[in-house]
Amino acid sequence: MTSPSNASKKRLLFVLLMTVLAIFFLTIRLGFIQIVKGEELKKGALEQWTKGIYINAKRGTIFDRNGKKLAISISSHTVWASPADIKDPVNTAKKVAEVLNLDESEVYEKLIKDTNVIKIKQWISLSETKELRNLNLPGIEIVDDNKRFYPYGEFASHILGFTDIDNNGLYGIEKTFDKYLSGTQGMWVKTEDARGVEMPYGGEKIYDPEDGLNVVLTLDETIQHFAEKYAKKALIDTKAKNVSIIVMEPHTGDVLAMTNMPQYDPNNPREPLDEETKKEWEKLPQEELQKKWYDMWRTFSINDSYEPGSTFKVIVAAAALEENAVQLDTPFYCDGFVTDIPGAVLKCARWYNPHGHQTFEEGLYNSCNVVFVDVGRRLGKENLYKYIKAFGFGEKTGIELTGEQAGIIPVSTDVIKEVNLATMSYGHGIAVTPIQLITAVSAIANGGKLMIPRLVSKLVDNEGNVVKTYEPEVKRQVISESTAKTILKLMEGVVSEGTGSNAYVPGYRVAGKTGTAQKIVDGRYAPGKYIGSFIAIAPADDPKIAVLVIVDEPVGIYYGGSVAAPVAGKLIEETLNYMEVEKKFTEEEKKKFENTEIVPDVRNLTIGEAGRTLTQLGFRYTTESNNIEENSVVIEQFPLAGSKVTKGSIIDLYLDSGYKSENMVIVPDLSGKTKADVVNILDGLGLTYEFEGEGIAVDQTPKPGAEISIDTKVKVVFKNTNDN
């Protein structure tokens, strides 16, 4: 056997060397991929294998102080697509578009996008869900979702605000408490290979969302209804630009009601309620349309400032008495004009028939400008400015809503000239917000303590556990308790003897003050444009509520005593009746209203028993219930038990729609009812529910008359009457 030649040996050595070098470099490369780039590549692979679909958390409920649901989340579904799993995007797009009533080309574009998952449509109906699931289309997933719903429509819209399509709070309480209400999103994670087959070691995982916390407001749903009713009536009667009403509990600063008319429906926040306005908006360009939206959402009570006019005189009076600048019997004289200020002539509202000689007390009753110019001079600009700031003007109150304004007051006493001091003394030359004014006047009602207005009392979880509490908070003591009592007595005289007589309520001692001010538009007083207002405290002997009514640009009569005081009087009477505050009639009032009867308590009686009780006492009664049965029970009545009303009055009875036997309930007939009505009925029975569609109820599960346990969910289908 011949030995290998040197040439062969060299070739073998070269091949061996190349092989070793190749193995060496491959080893280095493999190490680099596994060690250096390993985590990055692993992450990329997982991203390719893993498909994650977000599951929205259930947004927390917003309750009124008594547990009424003002904003809820209702069950719905959202359609997602995994483009990589769709083998036939053309056919899939066609079928999905047909079921969901979408543009086929737009669906197709989504199905071919280079992404793991993409949302096709949010909040589909139950029928669409069933139809799409029956098609069993690869790559199309239907995920449980929830939708924000406001069962009372436009009710308290400027307080509640609204959310966007992703359930993020945009305005009102929805915005300011969004981080508590929104909860934490969950995720549905699936691990699949390129063929769409589930990986054996990955599986499918669902990370449950964490529901948001529930917000409990200080708002009282019933008092809010009263306020909205009278605000709407005033808006129509006076043809005003807008009407605002605030009701506050003075000892805590709790806002019991706050309304601004006109309102909007947070379920459709970009559509005006008025059909005529809706048609006008259809023609507007997008930029102008957005401005209209912002104007509609604007909350006058906190977002706008105005000259308070004579309502501000109670603040000036309080400062003057606290500083001993005047006494109740200090004499003044009104000849109709103030002429001794260089370059200015100021006049009283009664310049054509001057008040003449009067005391300070009478000057407040008469709302005399001349008297208060004199009071301002005696007080001095330093003291007046001190109390303006002490009562909270010129700074935000801290109410839990966005966009609050601080109002406009002089930056310092240095800029207050003699004419400025004079006009500020009767509420001109400064600007305040409605929430500032009612908070300041509430300090007069509670012994001189300026409170921070409160709209939210606590946060609770779904088990009812209190997570966070917001206690009433005193900002500062602004006047003494004795001064506060004196001013309260003077304000009572304004109603009983002065310009606020239209707010008089038999049986309740009402303290108040009228205000009328010319509007400032673009920095100048606008001819013929006025704001009429009235601020009130009731009952004056034991304050339970403070009420502010503002009528902006009424047509015709514009004086606060004529357009705002009557509204306040009616609202006070209805609110105090609801709060079961006993009426205390004077001897004169007793003679006038002696033909009265105390309303009996017929709650928890059957309709038959309640009817007999009321008839025997000479009352008539009515009910709007469509399902009156022999065992129908009265769950509420109005007027409330203990109220004094004229004999023969009609008592409204509200009936339970079914009966409860231990934990069982008879399902009521919901057909033809609105969502708000259905929510009221089902809430009253303690049932949970799921809604589909919009409009009026056309179908329900379980059916009417079925006996179910109280933990059974009732599904209700709604349909618009103009749908085919």
Nearest of 262, 142, 150 to residue 694 by alpha carbon: 150
Any catalytic annotation for residue 125? Answer: no
Cα distances (angstroms) measured from residue 164 to each of 10, 167, 169, 181, 695: 78, 5, 7, 14, 21
Contact 450, 439 (CB under 8 A): yes
Asked if residues 529 and 316 have their Cβ atoms less than 8 Å apart, the reply is no
Q: How far apart are CA 156 and CA 455, in angstroms?
A: 12
**21 has which bridge partners?**
none
Would you tell me how many other CB atoms lie within 10 Å of the CB of residue 221? 20
SS (H, E, C) 631-666: CCEEEEEECCCCCEEECCCEEEEEECCCCEECCEEE
- The tokens for 468 are 């966070």
Element housing 457 (H / E): strand 456-460
Are the beta carbons of 486 and 514 closer than 8 angstroms?
Answer: no
**Under 8 Å between Cβ of 237 and 295:** no
End-to-end CA distance of the chain: 101
Distance from C-alpha of 689 to C-alpha of 151, rounded to nearest angstrom: 12
- Among the listed residues 82, 310, 442, 657, the single catalytic one is 310
Task: For residue 12, give the 3-state DSSP assignment.
Answer: helix
Q: How far apart are CA 497 and CA 292, in angstroms?
A: 44
d(CA 343, CA 219): 49
Chain mean position to CA 345: 45
Active site residues: 310
